[in-house]
Structure 1
């Protein structure tokens, strides 16, 4: 069996599956929620659950679902208007999913999350427990970003990143991304001449691939899906990307649908995964060239001697970013000093004092290159 066939077999037989559904699959400008399409997707999820899998649904579409009831004909552009549409749309979506799964005597539990919820370890653990309890009670978790209170606009990228984080939180065996594109292509398929990519074994396979932005109803696009696939790969979770119209084939294990993304050979530890992908960063430090090489190539601790500047405020135990002189983030990690102390030590060094080595600013065990 080829590696691709084996990977597709793993996805087709996965016992715990996260299914992400894009806005365009279930909403429209004219009529809000497309009930027939939503029912068809619920049917597919129910079939997979009947086969013995646990299914977690990450559903976009709250803003799109709220536009029609509010008389909006174009996607709102301001944060306040988006949140107003989402406040109406969340109710519409929850009702639609509840009605659809009620045909199978299934109860739906709505879980609304913000990036901050996932970025804080305590609230992420609470979300994890809630999702797991819904699973054991045989309810269908329907998860969405809480757009009505989120302060950063669509930070999850049309829920693609959220879906990958949920896959990590639930220890999923597979992530299926359903959108309006049937596969990853090496260029924009709308312009002709594009070739589908059947499997991505590693990020090097994406060299030369052009990823576009989202459509009118959503905010994702191929770029956010590739980022989500990379995130899931770090969590050791295989990913299948295809169109919502092919959901039945995707969830039934069809070996010839969409694009599959291979996970890392070794699953990243929960702590390192949280530092790299989920945690909120509270400031940054600037590194000299030697420190950049040490943390990115040699996986060594970051010492104060390699720090040339501090941006923002952070405290002991906060996750911080590490930047090179061009401002690019090269790593993230957990600070062992607060920003005031770091600034003081840098000032001492500038005055000619020997600040010594001391304890690392970020220990190697708490440092993850990005």
Structure 2
């Protein structure tokens, strides 16, 4: 059987983001597994030698710090997680630098926090840095900066981070490597689950139970976060291949393994992608049916007349979510008013407003529909 168009696209991709999970790089006791890391580097180096560019989004910092710190298991409290990340990140970066040096490849470490993708200026700075590293022939190794994270380290952060980085660098494909060889319609450990080889749209995901946690106890993403990351990438025009780290050579070669997720949307501009997936929302605006149709179907600006309620504390220039009457988020955008200004304006047509307030609440250029 000939490979699908999605698999052909992944195999032919010139710029690729590869995400590797903690459980694929570390032992069950904690600490790096040098042999696994070496095999991964061999595969990435081969793709680079063939003319490709690879950004490696690597988990493993916290897990790599467990054994050196004398801990018995992954810590649950934030302070100890940050301490383990501090120790483990150094070990991880050193191991990558030494291993890639066997192929005369230079590694650049890029540590990102949520702020770096939520704040527009930071987002653009990260984009410039990654593109420059690739242009210089460097292999960027990206990780979430767990050492200085100020919120709880959530499940699946690096899966989502990989999807965001894919758009940041204009990747032609995203490859997610974990400890599971493909997406199944249920838990493959329980038996009877069927593998899903191709996902071309939402219909292929009906009835699929992706679960919520990893199997090894070291990883934090689980299949659910990988599916969510795949959706972010695919709806932004980037095909995704999901498989196990054991299949890395095939994933970065003919792409004939795992589950292929077809790109289902058009490439968004950097600004619209940031609005849709990276920016944090500080409030919510509830819309009537007419405003939903204008914003989502006709891609028009949001006017005060179509707003029915306001939630949250936000300032002009913040990102807000736009909800339909049933409470579903249908769009996101940059609001042009402070939260306290809007209650007296909602539901009123433009000609009823004072002259200084006759402007769009969310301009069409600052808005992205999600449905």
TM-score, normalising length from structure 2? 0.91
Counterpart in 1 of 2:6?
7
Partner residue of 2:313?
A: 313
Q: Distance in 2 between matches of 1:101 and 1:214?
A: 31
SS of 1:7's equivalent in the other structure is helix
Q: Deviations over 1:204-245 (max 9, x none)?
A: 221111111122112211111111111111321111000000
Of 286-295 and 134-143, more deviation after overlay is shown by 286-295
Q: Partner of 2:112 in structure 1? A: 113
TM alignment of 1:340-359, pairs within 5 A? 340-346=340-346, 355=353, 358-359=358-359
What residue ranges of structure 2 are gaps of 5+ in the alignment?
Answer: none
**Contact 1:237–1:263, Cα closer than 8 Å, also in 2:** yes
Q: Is the 8 A contact 1:67 1:85 kept in 2?
A: yes
SS state at 1:72 partner: coil
Aligned counterpart, 1:53: 52
Q: Deviations over 1:12-61 (max 9, x none)?
A: 12111111001100012314111100000000000111111011100001
Q: Distance in 2 between matches of 1:59 and 1:156?
A: 15
What is the match of residue 179 of structure 2?
Answer: 180
SS of corresponding position for 1:148: helix
CA RMSD of superposed structures (Å): 2.3
- The reply on whether 1:171 has 2:170 as its aligned counterpart is yes
**Shift of residue 142 of structure 1?**
0.3
Query: Which runs of no fewer than 5 residues in structure 1 stay unpaired?
Result: none
Distance in 2 between residues matched to 1:72 and 1:153, nearest whole Å: 19
Shift of 1:324: 4.6
What's the CA shift string for 1:64-121, capped at 9, x where partnerless?
Answer: 0111111222221122221111111111111111111121222211000012101222
2:32 corresponds to = 33
- Scaled by the length of structure 1, the TM-score of the pair is 0.91
Structure 1, residues 298-343: CA drift from partner, whole Å, max 9, x if none?
5443222232332222222221112356654332111122212113
Map residues 238-253 of structure 1 onto 2, 5 A cutoff. Answer: 238-253=239-254
241-250 vs 5-14, which moves further: 5-14
C-alpha separation in 1, matches of 2:361 and 2:193? 47
> 2:305 is paired with a residue of what secondary structure?
helix
SS, match of residue 4 in structure 2: helix
Matched, 1:266 2:283: no
Give the structure 2 partner of residue 152 of structure 1: 151
Q: Number of paired residues?
A: 364
| Greater Cα offset, 41-50 or 223-232 | 223-232
Aligned pairs for 1:1-370 within 5 A: 5-155=4-154, 157-215=156-214, 216-255=217-256, 257-324=257-324, 327-346=327-346, 355=353, 358-370=358-370
Q: Distance in 2 between matches of 1:32 and 1:158?
A: 20
Task: Write the distance in 2 (CA, Å) between the matches of 1:60 and 1:147.
Answer: 10
| Cα distance in 1 between the residues matched to 2:200 and 2:96 | 35
- Comparing 100-109 with 172-181, greater Cα deviation is found at 100-109
Cα distance in 2 for partners of 1:218, 1:344 equals 49
Q: Distance in 2 between matches of 1:104 and 1:361?
A: 54
Q: Any conservation in 1 of the 2:174–2:241 contact (CA below 8 Å)?
A: yes
Instruction: Give the SS at the match of 2:192.
Output: coil
1:289 Cα offset (Å): 4.9
Shift of 1:128: 1.3
